[in-house]
Structure 1
C-alpha cells in the first residue's frame, strides 16, 4: 500500500552502492537498500546509473552487449515487483536492448502499483578515456511523441519527475527543458569517478564541479535535485589503466541548492530527505527566473557555434 504523508511533503531516497560483475549480486544489493529506504518512509526511491553491473564502459568490448536486456525483461520485472510490494515509486537503470544493434542507457520509472510510468533514454552520450559510452549507447530520441523520450517529465503518483542521466547533468538546456515541461524534481542517476592517477587537487576540482553544476540547475530552475552516484574502485577490463574510483557524494538538495542530505565518498548507504512540495512555487515568486527569460533573444542557442 502506498504510504500517506502530509499532503505537502514528499519523502525521497537516493541509493549509493557498490556494484559487482555478477548482476544477481548487484541487484540483491539494490533490493536490500531499496527495502531499507522504504522501511524509513521513502515514497520515491532513486537508484544510480547502471546499478546492476560494473561500469563496463571503461573499455570497448562487443561481448558486453550480452548484458543488455529488453524492456520488459528480467531486471525491469524485478524492479516492478519491488515497487508494487513496497508501494513506492522506483527509478531504476537498465542497459536496454531496443533491437538488434540499438542499445540505450535507460532509466525506468515504476509506479507504486508496479506499472511502468515511463522511461528516459540518456540523451547526451560521452566518449572520453574510461567513459567510452558512444560504443555502447544510442542517444535517446529527441522528438519521440509518446512522452517517454526526449526531455519530457514522467508523470507519477508522487509528481512529475524530470529524469536525466549522468552526462546530461552538465547541460543546463536539459534541466531547463524539463522545468519548462513541468518537472517538479530533477533526478540524475550517475556513475562518475576519478582516474586513480589524477592528483588530489584535480580530483577535488572535479568533484566540486560535479556538485556545483547540479546545485546550479536546482537554483536556476527552482527545483529540488536527487543525484545518486556509485562508490568503489572498479578495474579497467582492458587493463590499460588502473580503473576508476567512483566518488560517491550522492546528494539531495532543495530548490535553492541547499543540501538536504549528502553521502561520503566511500560508504554504501541511503539518503533520505523530505521535500516540501510548495517550496518551488514559493521560491519562484521571489526569484522569478522563468518570468524574466528573454525567449525572443535566445534563437542562437540552437546553433552549434555563433559565427
Structure 2
C-alpha cells in the first residue's frame, strides 16, 4: 500500500577515507576532492567520517594530543564552510573541538550550502575501552538530541559510540529527524580471531540498521578505513573496518563500502517512501509512553 505524495528525492553521499598522518591540510584537501566529486555527481548532502582531520589519536592518553583540537569557529570550520558553499551542498563534518582550555568535545558541524554554521552536535556517549580512550579527551555533549534544520530537511546527527544506543536514535526521530547520520571511527583489534572480528562488524551494522527499522528513517554511516598504528609500541593498533553504508527506512542496504578500500558512496533517497513506511508501520502511534518511566533509571529491579 502506498500514498499519493509529491515526489521528494534527495541524492546523498558519504566519504570513506584512510588517514595516514596528522597533516590536517593534506587530509582536508583529500576530503575536499572527494566532496567535489560527489557534488559533481549530483549529491546535495554529504557526510564525512569521525575526526577526519587527523589520525585517530585516542589509541592512548597523551596530553600533547590536545594540540590537535580546533576552536569553533576556526580554521577547520572556515575550510569546510567554504567547501560547502563552493559545492552548493549540505556538508556534515566532524571535528575535535577546543571549547576552552581543558574542555574539549567530539563535535559534528553542519554547513548548509554556505560558509555559515547551520548547526552542531556534541557527541553524547563517550567510550573508554582499550584503544579507544575517549573519556580522557572528550567531555560528553550538552546540546541534547536536536536535529539540525537544513535546506534538505532535518538531519539527526549522532557520532560513533552514539550508534549503539537506541535511545539516541529514538530521541532524534521524536524531535523530527528525517535522516540519521553517524560519522564513525571503529575497527578491529588484530589480536581478535577472524570470527570475532566478523561478529563485531556484524553487530555494528545490525544495530544501525535496527535504528532505521525502529524509527522508519534512512541511516547514513561513514566509517574510516585502513590501519593506524598505536603511538604505544606495545599495542597492535587499529584496523578500521570501513563498511560505510546507506540504509533505507526498513533497514535495507542501499549501498556499502568495502572493509579495506577508500570509497565514496551515493544513493538517491526517496523521502516519500520514508513517509509511506511510517504510515504502514506506525511504531510511534503504538508506543506505550505511560509504561516507559523506568528507562530513566540506570538499571531495573
Name the CA distance, whole Å, in 1 between partners of 2:114 and 2:160: 27
Name the CA distance, whole Å, in 1 between partners of 2:97 and 2:257: 28
Query: 24-33 or 94-103, which moves further after superposition?
Result: 24-33
Do residues 104 (structure 1) and 105 (structure 2) align?
yes
Do residues 28 (structure 1) and 29 (structure 2) align?
yes
Q: Which runs of 5+ in 2 are unaligned?
A: 1-5
Tell me the residue number matched to 1:256.
250
Tell me the residue number matched to 2:51.
50
Matches within 5 A, 1:46-195: 46-141=47-142, 149-195=143-189
Do residues 288 (structure 1) and 278 (structure 2) align?
no
Q: Is the 8 A contact 2:7 2:272 kept in 1?
A: no
Query: 179-188 or 110-119, which moves further after superposition?
Result: 110-119
Do residues 222 (structure 1) and 216 (structure 2) align?
yes
**Offset, 1:7:** 5.2
Name the CA distance, whole Å, in 1 between partners of 2:40 and 2:231: 37
Q: Is the 8 A contact 2:36 2:87 kept in 1?
A: yes
**Offset, 1:205:** 0.1
| Secondary structure at 2:121 match in 1 | strand
**Offset, 1:114:** 2.2
| Secondary structure at 2:183 match in 1 | coil
Q: Which runs of 5+ in 1 are unaligned?
A: 1-5, 142-148
Name the CA distance, whole Å, in 1 between partners of 2:283 and 2:95: 35
Give CA-to-partner distance per residue, 1:213-253, whole Å, 9 cap, x none.
00000000000000000011000012221100000000000
Do residues 8 (structure 1) and 2 (structure 2) align?
no
| Secondary structure at 1:128 match in 2 | coil
Name the CA distance, whole Å, in 1 between partners of 2:264 and 2:24: 20
Name the CA distance, whole Å, in 2 between partners of 1:41 and 1:7: 17
Name the CA distance, whole Å, in 2 between partners of 1:259 and 1:40: 20
Name the CA distance, whole Å, in 2 between partners of 1:139 and 1:173: 16
The runs of at least 4 aligned residues of structure 1 exceeding 2 Å deviation read none
Tell me the residue number matched to 1:144.
none
Name the CA distance, whole Å, in 1 between partners of 2:290 and 2:196: 40
TM-score (norm 2): 0.97
Tell me the residue number matched to 1:3.
none
TM-score (norm 1): 0.95
Q: Number of aligned pairs?
A: 295
Name the CA distance, whole Å, in 1 between partners of 2:249 and 2:75: 36
| Secondary structure at 2:212 match in 1 | helix
**Offset, 1:103:** 0.1
**Offset, 1:21:** 2.3
**Offset, 1:100:** 1.2
The alignment yields a C-alpha RMSD, in angstroms, of 0.9
Name the CA distance, whole Å, in 2 between partners of 1:277 and 1:114: 26
**Offset, 1:115:** 1.7
